[in-house]
Amino acid sequence: CSCPCRCYQRRSLSREQSTYIYILNRMSSSGAGRGGGGGRGGGGGKKESILELAKLVDQIVRVKCLGGRELRGALRGYDELVNLVLDDCEEFIRDPDDPERVTSETRKLGLVVIRGTQVSLVSPEEGTEEIANPFLGGEEEEEEE
C-alpha cells in the first residue's frame, strides 16, 4: 500500500477502516472539507484571501454595501469574513428624487461594524478617481443634451 502511515498493517484495523482514517487525516491536514479550500483547483496549503486589507488598516476607505449604502471611514480592523470596523464613519446620503444616486452630503455615524455579507466593495479613499461608466455607451450623452 502507498499509505505513508501504514496503519492498515496493524491487525486491529481492516484495510477499509485504515483507508478511511488515512483520508480523514489527509483532509484535516490539507484544510479540505467544511470550506477549507480542498475542492477544485485546491492545490494544498491554506487558501489566501484575494483582498489585501492589511495594507488599508488605519487608512481612510470607502465601502459600498449591497443595499446601495456607501460609507467612508478609517479602517480599524477586519476578519476573514470581511467584517469591517470603521472609525469616524460617515454615510453618504442618497438623493431623495433618485435613490440610485449618492450625493456628497454625509451624516456622521462614528464607530461602526459592517457585516461582511453586506460588503460589495472596499477601496482606499486616496488615489482613486471617478470615471465614466463604459457600459452606458451613448445613453449618458443623450441625457446631457
Q: What is the per-residue pLDDT across 9-64, written as a single tens digit (0 to 9) for each?
A: 444 556 665 565 555 555 545 544 445 444 455 555 555 666 688 888 899 999 99
Tens digit of each residue's pLDDT (9 = 90 or more) over 76-131: 999 888 999 999 999 999 888 887 888 889 999 999 999 999 999 999 988 777 78
Q: Find, among 109, 100, 101, 98, the residue nearest to 71 by Cα.
A: 109
The arithmetic mean of pLDDT across residues 63-72, rounded, is 91
Q: Return the pLDDT at 20.
A: 54
Q: Return the pLDDT at 63.
A: 94
3-state SS class at 124: strand
Q: Which residues pair with 71 in a beta bridge?
A: 63, 91
User: Which residue did the predictor score with more confidence, 61 or 4?
Assistant: 61
Q: Return the pLDDT at 10.
A: 47
Whole-structure pTM value: 0.56
Burial (CB count within 10 angstroms: exposed 0-12, middle 13-18, buried 19+), residue 142: exposed
Q: Return the pLDDT at 33.
A: 46
Q: Return the pLDDT at 111.
A: 92
Q: Return the pLDDT at 131.
A: 80
